Structure 1
Amino acid sequence: MKIDLSNTAIHWFKEEVDLKNGDKVRFYVKIYGSSPVQEGFSLAFTVDNEPIDIAVKTEKEGLTFFIEGADLWFFNGHDLHVDYNKEIDELEFSYVLPGEK
């Protein structure tokens, strides 16, 4: 599994969340909501500079984005792609099986 972020998503994190070099963003599972990979669950994020069990991470522009081992089940083998949609002014998460586009 991997995490991929677009340049516009990274810019959004820096501007809207006021992230600085060295900050860490954890993507985690929350109950309720919906996603194409798990019914009744959705994805959220928090700034978490004290990870416990990083299972997957990517580093871009001085920032670390990660998922804890306890949340890997949510992805059901999919990679996480994070983008920013300017029209709705929100992050968009997409889930792609390795090898698919």
Structure 2
Amino acid sequence: MEITVTDAAHQYVQDEMGLTSGDGLKFSSKVYGKTQIHEGFSVAIHVEKPNGDTLAKTEKDGITYFTTPEDDWFFAGHNFHVDFDSDKENFIYTFTD
């Protein structure tokens, strides 16, 4: 599994969420909603630094974007792409094989 974060999403995380080098953004599952691969579950984000094992991670300007092994069932078999729609002010999550 790979995580990719677009420049637009990264810029939002820096400008609007205030994350800087040394910070982390964790992606996990949450009950309710849906994604292109799950009905009844969607993506949650948490501002926190990795603490222990990660399932996947990537870093931009010192900010670590990651997920942990307990959400393997949610991300299993897919790469995870994070973008940002500035018109709707919303993250866009895409799962690919």
Q: What range is the shorter-chain TM-score in?
A: over 0.9
| 2:91 corresponds to | 91
| RMSD (CA atoms) | 1.1
CA distance in 2, matches of 1:33, 1:24: 24
| 2:38 corresponds to | 38
CA distance in 1, matches of 2:12, 2:30: 21
CA distance in 2, matches of 1:50, 1:5: 17
Map residues 64-83 of structure 1 onto 2, 5 A cutoff: 64-83=64-83
Please state how far the C-alpha of 1:87 moved relative to its aligned partner. Answer: 1.6
Please state how far the C-alpha of 1:20 moved relative to its aligned partner. Answer: 1.2
Gaps in structure 1 of 5+ consecutive residues: none
| 1:57 corresponds to | 57
Tell whether 2:28 aligns with 1:28.
yes
CA distance in 2, matches of 1:50, 1:83: 21
One-letter amino acid of the counterpart of residue 40, structure 2: G
One-letter amino acid of the counterpart of residue 87, structure 2: E
In the alignment of these two chains, the number of paired residues is 97
Gaps in structure 2 of 5+ consecutive residues: none
One-letter amino acid of the counterpart of residue 43, structure 1: V
User: What TM-score, normalized by structure 1, do the two folds share?
Assistant: 0.90
- In the superposition, relative to structure 1, how do residues 50 and 95 fare at CA in structure 2: closer, same or farther (>3 Å)? closer
Q: Is the 8 A contact 2:49 2:64 kept in 1?
A: no
Runs of 4+ in 1 over 6 A off after TM superposition: none
User: What TM-score, normalized by structure 2, do the two folds share?
Assistant: 0.93
- Sequence identity percentage: 35
CA distance in 1, matches of 2:31, 2:12: 25
